[in-house]
Structure 1
Amino acid sequence: MKQMLLALWAYRFFIVSSIKTEFKTRFARSKIGGFWMVIHPLAQVLVYALILSQIMKAKLPEVQTQYAYPIYILSGILAWTLFSDILTRSLNVFINNANLLKKMAFPKLSLVLIAIGIALINFILFMLVMFVVFAFLGHLPYHALYWLPLLIGITLVLATGIGLFLGVLNVFIRDIGQIMEVVMQFWFWLTPIVYMTSIVPQKYHTLFMLNPMTGIVEGFQNILLYDKAPNFGHLFYPAVFALCSLFLAMLLFYRAREEMTDVL
């Protein structure tokens, strides 16, 4: 493990330059640049808000703003965007860079760090735009914002652990990538982003809490909508799940790292 970390540190300039190159290449001929990264999630929020706002608004009586439901969705989408972006990039990172891995000798984990760096920049840009939208709507939460880095950290570890684990498996079993496209769609709708946990029948609440993203998304909503600290009881399970998934992912990667290049 120590050798891996030292190797990653030695290639830190490669990691940073790769992240910069990714954004320069993506927006080389774009007129609005980085805004394309936030237009899709904002459009998604707008669609849900227009269709479901009148139905769901009554479920948020404690929020004293007529835009409670759009803010609720934005808070959940912010958490989901970070999670899904890191997971999806990590899932395909070795396959997408197969030619590079065959031609150059460098730490394979640096590709995962590059994917995380790109996803984090996307997330920060989206979050900044989201706060602009909040200000426009007259909603400026600030009392519990200092808890946001904790939630971002848990989300990052969870997404990296699951993404790296499945990314290694995807090298050997290519069906993993196809299966996860379907799983992510179900996972989104099994997470209280568009709807509230309160509308789910009580007998299913325990099952919903087995989804590690439930506690994380609720934490984002508590901070950004209700302007209060997250429920730490609901964050304990996602945090443990995230650490365990990252540990298993690193263990699998360590054992399979020599064979991956040959299979690719």
Structure 2
Amino acid sequence: MRQNINRNSDVSTVPSNPLVIRIEPSKGWVSLKLKELWAYRELLYFLVWRDIKVRYKQTVLGVAWALIQPFFTMVVFSLFFGRLARMPSDGVPYPLFSFAALVPWTFFANGLNQASNSLVGSANLIKKVYFPRLAIPIATVLSGVVDFILSFIMLVGLMFYFGFTPTINVFWFPLFLLLALVTSLGASLWFSALNVEFRDVRYIMPFLTQLWMFSTPIVYPGSLLSEPWRTIYGINPMVGVVEGFRWALLGTPLAFGQSIMVSSFVACLLLLSGALYFRRMEKTFADVV
């Protein structure tokens, strides 16, 4: 008899209205919710690891592709622009001059091209599970760090081969690497969100990337331009990245002033505006993708 009474009393203490969590789409311009992204940092790690494994799964040369692409591009540039066109290289052997620019450029271009299709490629995941959608393009860009490290090791080998040793400027190198990451991530957020709504973005990306490359001082030095055009040229954030890499590693001349400041400002603006636009369009991803 007592046991029945106790059971009834336990049932009466159960709340009649259980806790309900409702996920609703955001309205208007919303915050970035970086705390939520930090809470899902473990998921971000697994997305990065997934992208790295998928990139080299069932490949013959594996991670060697990270070296082959910039190396043979450097060979072509050295032959046509360095030897035939006699392009100036600020007193640096042209192969080293071009490869020092191709290392950050390849990191930027690969991250941009792959991240622009990352949301469409993860459509099944987006439709079934809730998580911060920012994690997908961020993971795609961060997965390119592995390729960057490998190509950077090759760049260091070329530096010693040509007799170049890093100067004290090398302490600025992490800042220019951060600038490359910010630029790649900012552009990736814009184009990944646009690609969900406008699928022809993926057809524009190869042409846009090629146009962006020739508007960046990769095959030619930025010193060919004089002020005020050089400062205006810095609106392209990759100008600051490429010239900064060469200055920090090879000691080439650098107008360390307005052009670098303009590139840094534009890169930060690109990241902030891209993140805000991404969050604004995020509510439609599951329906449109």
Aligned residues: 260
Aligned-CA RMSD value: 2.6
Distance in 1, Cα, partners of 2:136 & 2:238: 25
Q: Within the alignment, does 1:77 sit opposite 2:102 as a pair?
A: yes
Partner of 2:242: 217
Task: Give yes or no for the alignment of 1:240 onto 2:269.
Answer: no
Decide which of 120, 127, 144 is 2:145's aligned counterpart: 120
Higher share of residues assigned helix:
1
Confirm or deny: 8 A CA contact 2:102 2:218 kept in the other structure. Answer: yes
Cα deviation digits, residues 91-144 of structure 1 (max 9, x gap): 221111111111222211111221122112211121112112222232222421
- The structure-2 alpha-carbon separation of the partners of 1:203 and 1:26, relative to structure 1 and needing over 3 Å to count, comes to closer
Q: How many Å apart are 1:7 and its aligned residue? A: 2.5
Within the alignment, does 1:35 sit opposite 2:64 as a pair?
A: yes
Percent of counterpart pairs with the same letter?
A: 29
Report the residue type matching 2:115 in the other structure. S
Query: Which residues in structure 2 correspond to 1:1-264 (within 5 Å)?
Result: 4-30=33-59, 32-54=61-83, 59-60=88-89, 62-63=91-92, 68-199=93-224, 205=230, 208-226=233-251, 231-264=256-289
CA contact (8 A) 2:115 2:192 kept: yes
**8 Å CA contact retained: 1:222, 1:230:** no
The C-alpha deviation readout for 1:186-220, integer Å capped at 9, x for no partner, is 11111110112344588964653332222221111
Paired residue secondary structure (2:251): coil
* Cα pair distance change 1:155/1:119, threshold 3 Å: same
Partners of 1:230 and 1:15 in 2: CA distance: 38
Q: Is the 8 A contact 1:91 1:167 kept in 2?
A: yes
Is the contact between residue 151 and residue 220 of structure 1 (CA under 8 Å) also seen in structure 2? yes
Would the aligned equivalents of 2:89 and 2:220 in 1 still touch at CA under 8 Å?
no
Q: Which runs of 5+ in 2 are unaligned?
A: 1-29
| Structure 1 runs not aligned, ≥5 long | none
1:115–1:102 Cα change, 3 Å: same
SS in 2 for 1:144: helix
Distance 1:199 1:235 in 2: 16
Mapped partners of 1:93, 1:61: distance in 2:
38
TM-score where L is the length of structure 2: 0.80
Q: CA deviation at 1:263?
A: 0.5
Aligned-partner Cα distance in 1 for 2:285–2:134: 12
What TM-score comes out, normalization by structure 1 length? 0.87
The letter for the 2-side match of 1:252 is Y
